[in-house]
A and B are shown apart, each in its own frame.
Chain A
Amino acid sequence: MSSVLRVLFAPGFFASSPVHVALVVGGIAALVSGVVGTFTVLRGQSYSGHALADLAVTGGSATFLASISPLWGFAGTGVIAAGIMDMIGIRRPRGRDLATGIVRGAGLGLAALFLYWDTTSTSTTGTTVTILFGSMFTISNSVVPLMVAFGVSALAIVATLYRPLLLSSVSADVAAARGVRVRLTGLACLIAIALAVSLAAVTLGAILSTALLVGPAAIALRVTSTPGRATVAAALIAVATTWLGVVLAYDSFTWPPSHNGWPVSFFIVTLIFLGFVAAQLTGRARRVKG
């Protein structure tokens, strides 16, 4: 048994402090993303989630210029972008996708500019890759309180709006008839998504954070039969894949070709994707419709 454990956990895993931070930070991000993600998938807003993640790049690169914690940039731009999307957003999904895409394109254009300034003014050449693909083992301890604060806010939004969110996800008309303020609920949901994405962006990197938001939730909705259970399952799956990803990434420091470690985000994304394909293929079609 202990030899099996030694194969799985490379020596020094439990003693390494970057690993501790990665586990804590990744755990928080995964938990929040799993819960918020369930609603993202139910509401068919995967694209909004992805666009918010891309826009987090803009904020992240701006904060590198101002040298403050990127988390502020990720969350700040996310919330602003959520507002803009809601403002120009149209009710029909097709128009919504377009509006989302336009905001995303404009934001990424800005990101290109900021990153260009980052690399020319401060000669921090790794910035682009850090922001886009994350670097979990280099996160400092000090972001944890801020992450907890953002995470709790996102969870609080989802918890308070649980029923109206669910109702307006199933049918906006019914929800409006029952006195739910659909527009406001939608905006609140977008803000919760933006917060969750910003947490995931710190750990997985901005453009990969969609994986944590959408993947576990999609798996959970496939294998459970009520939204409540799906939410719990999504959070569990997200945390489990993230931690497994951290373990594998730590192991990979001895792997070819570079002995420099494979990226954590690669492992997490791959695990989530394999889980999703497996869930689809086992396909007892118990789809949750609401």
Chain B
Amino acid sequence: MINAWVSASIVAVIAGVVGFFVVLRGAAFVADAVPQGAFAGAAGASLLGINTLVGLGLFALAGSLGIGWLSKRARRDVSTALILVVLLGLGALFLSFTVEYSAEIFSLLFGEVLGVSTSEILPIAVLGAVCVLAVLLLFRPLLMSSLAPESSAAAGISNTRMELIFLVIVALATSLTLPVVGALLIFSLMIGPPAAARSLTASPLAAMGLSVVLAVLTVWVAIAASFETNWPIGFFVGAGGAVCYAAGRLIAWWRTSRGRRVLDS
């Protein structure tokens, strides 16, 4: 249980930090595709009997770089979709080779937070720290190239390099978070809280902090609820992400309509 809390909290912090840039760059589809593609890597790793984290990392990285490479030639959404399905197709192939998969597959797809062992926490923590550190070190250039690509190019920041770094960070974050929250739902954690945070505050740093707080809260509530009901944690994470977003939108809407009323009177 302690393992679950620790690992899920680490995961939430990563998702909150990385998710902030996902929302800022409008990269929702990429952040959605990379985890799902990485799932195939986990399936392949379990087929070969190697560490799942290795399979996840390799496929997440391959997916990210593939999207980066292909979207130079074709529309970005189309390239993302096709890289995603080709990885998933491989996943389907790997799955058809294994016999005893069902429970494990389900937990990879929808999360199995209570199955995290003590030995798994250390790599999650170290890689998570690397991930967060990378984002913090590159905070300014990433922010500039996300918000104003033209002027950041003028300031000597290479937008293509930033894009590549961003994709690698997403891949790293993905491979860490996937075993805990599940391939299909990492993404709820990565965009729900940051989107809510963005509509609540305009300052980038405050928004990032708020998004981490919201993500951690979502995960804590989800773990508690999942422990109580024995239902899959993915359900609560998905619902929590949507609630965050809806609340953020409502508050933002209430603010603007109040502002309008003040102006009218």
Report whether over half of chain A's contact residues are helix, strand or loop; otherwise say mixed.
helix
Q: A270, B95: Cβ atoms under 8 Å?
A: no
Which A residues are CB-close (under 8 A) to B205? none
Residues 99-124 of B, flagged 1 when their CB comes within 8 A of A and 0 if not, give 00111011001110000000000000
Which B residues are CB-close (under 8 A) to A277? 70
State which of B78, B91, B192 has its C-beta within 8 Å of the C-beta of A105.
Answer: B192
Q: A97, B29: Cβ atoms under 8 Å?
A: yes
Q: A50, B75: Cβ atoms under 8 Å?
A: no
| A108-B234, A269-B88 known; A218-B182 Cβ under 8 A | no
- Does B77 lie at the interface of the complex (its beta carbon under 8 Å from any beta carbon of A)? yes
Chain A, residue nearest B96 (CB): A263
Which B residues are CB-close (under 8 A) to A128? 102, 105-106, 109
Chain B, residue nearest A42 (CB): B75
Give residues 223-257 of B contacting A (CB, 8 Å): 231-232, 234-239, 241-242, 245-246, 249
Instruction: Give Cα distance in the complex from A128 to B106, angstroms.
Output: 7
Which B residues are CB-close (under 8 A) to A265? 89, 92
Chain B, residue nearest A41 (CB): B78
Report B18 CB to chain A, min CB distance, Å: 14
Report A40 CB to chain B, min CB distance, Å: 9
Report whether over half of chain B's contact residues are helix, strand or loop; otherwise say mixed.
helix
- Does A137 lie at the interface of the complex (its beta carbon under 8 Å from any beta carbon of B)? no
Q: A112, B89: Cβ atoms under 8 Å?
A: no
Report B36 CB to chain A, min CB distance, Å: 7
Q: B238, A98: Cβ atoms under 8 Å?
A: no
Report B120 CB to chain A, min CB distance, Å: 21
- Does B73 lie at the interface of the complex (its beta carbon under 8 Å from any beta carbon of A)? yes
Which A residues are CB-close (under 8 A) to B101? 129
Report B109 CB to chain A, min CB distance, Å: 7
Selecting from B6-14, B79-87, B157-165, B172-180, the interface stretch reads B79-87
State which of B95, B96, B97, B235 has its C-beta within 8 Å of the C-beta of A109.
Answer: B235
| A101-B28, A112-B232, A262-B93 known; A54-B78 Cβ under 8 A | no
Report A32 CB to chain B, min CB distance, Å: 18
Instruction: Give Cα distance in the complex from A113 to B232, angstroms.
Output: 6
| A47-B29, A101-B28, A132-B109 known; A106-B96 Cβ under 8 A | no
Q: B85, A105: Cβ atoms under 8 Å?
A: no
- Does B215 lie at the interface of the complex (its beta carbon under 8 Å from any beta carbon of A)? no
How many inter-chain residue pairs (CB < 8 Å) link A and B? 198
| A128-B102, A270-B89, A272-B82 known; A47-B182 Cβ under 8 A | no
Give residues 8-31 of B contacting A (CB, 8 Å): 23, 26, 28-29
Which B residues are CB-close (under 8 A) to A106? 188, 238-239, 241-242
State which of A44, A93, A105, A205 has its C-beta within 8 Å of the C-beta of B242.
Answer: A105
State which of B32, B36, B70, B90 has its C-beta within 8 Å of the C-beta of A101.
Answer: B32
Q: A283, B73: Cβ atoms under 8 Å?
A: yes
Report A173 CB to chain B, min CB distance, Å: 21
| A119-B102, A129-B102 known; A108-B238 Cβ under 8 A | yes
Which B residues are CB-close (under 8 A) to A260? 96
- Does A276 lie at the interface of the complex (its beta carbon under 8 Å from any beta carbon of B)? yes
Q: A218, B82: Cβ atoms under 8 Å?
A: yes
State which of B93, B185, B195 has its C-beta within 8 Å of the C-beta of A112.
Answer: B185
Q: A262, B89: Cβ atoms under 8 Å?
A: no
Which A residues are CB-close (under 8 A) to B81? 46-47, 49-50, 210-211, 214-215
- Does B166 lie at the interface of the complex (its beta carbon under 8 Å from any beta carbon of A)? no
Which A residues are CB-close (under 8 A) to B185? 105, 108-109, 112
Chain A, residue nearest B74 (CB): A280
- Does A9 lie at the interface of the complex (its beta carbon under 8 Å from any beta carbon of B)? no
Give residues 224-265 of A contacting B (CB, 8 Å): 257-258, 260-263, 265
Q: A102, B82: Cβ atoms under 8 Å?
A: no
State which of B29, B73, B84, B97 has its C-beta within 8 Å of the C-beta of A258.
Answer: B97
Which B residues are CB-close (under 8 A) to A257? 97
Which B residues are CB-close (under 8 A) to A111? 110, 184
10 A–B contacts, CB within 8 A, in A order: A41-B75, A46-B80, A50-B84, A94-B26, A98-B245, A102-B245, A106-B188, A116-B235, A207-B36, A273-B89
Chain A residues with a Cβ under 8 A of chain B? 41, 44-47, 49-51, 54, 88, 93-94, 97-98, 100-113, 115-116, 119, 125-126, 128-129, 132-133, 205, 207-208, 210-211, 214-215, 218, 222, 257-258, 260-263, 265-266, 268-270, 272-273, 276-277, 280-281, 283
**Closest 3 interchain pairs by CB?**
A109-B238, A105-B188, A269-B89
Known: A133-B88, A270-B86. 4 other contacts (CB 8 A): A46-B75, A47-B29, A49-B81, A273-B82
Chain B residues with a Cβ under 8 A of chain A? 23, 26, 28-29, 32-33, 36, 70, 73-75, 77-78, 80-82, 84-86, 88-93, 95-97, 101-103, 105-106, 109-111, 182, 184-185, 187-188, 191-192, 195, 231-232, 234-239, 241-242, 245-246, 249
